[in-house]
Structure 1
Amino acid sequence: MPEPTPVLPEVLSQIRALPASGRPLIICDVDEVILHLTTHLEDYLHSNGLMFLKFEYRLTGNIGSKKTGTSLNATEVKQLLMSFFDEVSPHQDLVPGADTALHSLSDDWDVVLLTNLPGAHNKPVRENLLAAKGLNYPVLTNSGPKGGAVAALASGRPSPVVFIDDSPTNHNSVNASLPSSIQIQFIADPRFLTSMTRAQHVDLLTGDWQETETFISSILSAAKTS
């Protein structure tokens, strides 16, 4: 089991700027959860003579030349992603049902969006895009595993805390840092969803926002009747 991840100082300062609240909390990722990522990235790869080598959850070693199949190294993948986000961040499409589900859930829950978005200059771009789609929730930018940030966000709040993310790395990190959280692994692209096996600490593996809304709503209903 991974060790708990400390929260980064730059993330903690964003968390401290949030208003105090005693409501239950949903901490939700953006890419591949609220906004499509893999379909945009695949188009970008193809336009640059590249492709996913397999539909599995990793980037380094899984992006390569369409002609030769030779994979990019870690540095090349990082540079590619920086360029990709600079180009595509203003135009990402909404995952169907994300807006409706979060609006409904926000009647009873606070919603905070926690995203690993490369490039500080892309944060206002992302905030503007989400606002244009009616998703006016606080956006916090993180780097690396999210466990420390999630634990810091949950500190001083009543349970339950729900964490929604596509990345198995982030779910492992949150399980180490805040094992009491309810974890939903959401993967919008069905090709990547079907390649994923649900880990024991993940409470729901899904790519459907209606299923996600129903599952989260049932958490408070169960708490009220217990």
Structure 2
Amino acid sequence: MSRPLLITDCDEVLLHMVRHMTAWLDEAHAIDFRPDGGFFTKAARRQSDGSLLADSEMWTLLDGFFRTEMTRQTLVPHAREALERIADVADIVVLTNLGEESLTGRVDQLARFGIEHRVICNGMGSKGDPVARLVAEYRPSVAVFVDDLAVHHAAVAKATPDVFRLHMIAEPEIAAQVGPAPDAHARIDDWAEAVVWVLARFQGETVAA
């Protein structure tokens, strides 16, 4: 029988990002960034006049952060230890919504924190089809998907409904503003607790529909 499979997001699941991007926008661009409810659009204002940045400007800045500032990012507490436990019994893939040009940087970034698993860059697309392809490739006995965005849980639920879905937001300020994803099986924001939930799924324990 094939090993179980964990498919996990990176930003705000394995690595903190928003807090570091907020500091960078303030320092380098004189922009106040306050993601309301976890949404990046309509969240940034110029300190000079309080004007709101257009969505296109925000996405350009987000791309700039990942091109030049990834060294700022820090490890989410307990993430490395949780993945070490999971890797004893399962395969792990990091599915991140960065462009392919960021693959080497993301692999190196995670390796600096002792996280060395397969990384797939998905651009800005839905994660439903990529998760379906990974399930078809690995043919796992059971699969778990972890992400901070409800939209990806909805897509995975549609594409591969048998995959267990764990909603995690590791940034406390955002977690406090965002409710559980309707299409996730559970919401856990701490890897110390989440690892127990993941391993239970791998051991054949089910969750309520």
Common topology (TM > 0.5): yes
Contact residue 6 and residue 92 of structure 2 kept, 8 A:
yes
Distance 1:51 1:170 in 2: 27
Residue 109 of structure 1: aligned partner: 90
- Determine which of 84, 96, 100 is the counterpart of 2:77: 96
Residue 150 of structure 1, CA deviation = 0.4
- The one-letter code of the counterpart of 2:180 is R
Residue 13 of structure 1: aligned partner: none
Q: Does 1:217 align with 2:189?
A: no
Bigger Cα displacement from structure 2, 52-61 vs 200-209: 52-61
Bigger Cα displacement from structure 2, 95-104 vs 211-220: 211-220
Residue 159 of structure 1, CA deviation = 3.8
Distance 2:153 2:114 in 1: 27
Give the TM-score of the pair, scaled to structure 2.
Answer: 0.90
Distance 2:127 2:58 in 1: 21
Residue 11 of structure 1: aligned partner: none
Deviations 1:89-147 (A, max 9, x none): 234211111100001011111100000114x3322121112112211100110021111
Q: Does 1:138 align with 2:138?
A: no
4+ residue runs over 4 A deviation? none
Distance 1:38 1:92 in 2: 9
Residue 169 of structure 1: aligned partner: 151
Distance 1:167 1:91 in 2: 22
Deviations 1:55-104 (A, max 9, x none): 31211112222344322112111211111111212342111111000010
Distance 2:38 2:101 in 1: 26
Distance 2:182 2:141 in 1: 20
> How many equivalent residue pairs?
203
- The one-letter code of the counterpart of 1:183 is R
Residue 12 of structure 1: aligned partner: none
SS at match of 1:155: helix
Distance 2:107 2:154 in 1: 27
Distance 2:194 2:20 in 1: 23
Residue 76 of structure 1: aligned partner: 57
Distance 1:54 1:35 in 2: 17
Contact residue 27 and residue 164 of structure 1 kept, 8 A:
yes
Bigger Cα displacement from structure 2, 151-160 vs 185-194: 151-160
Residue 85 of structure 1: aligned partner: 66
Distance 2:52 2:160 in 1: 35
Contact residue 7 and residue 145 of structure 2 kept, 8 A:
yes
Distance 1:54 1:86 in 2: 21
Residue 37 of structure 1: aligned partner: 17
Structure 2: runs of 5 or more not aligned: none
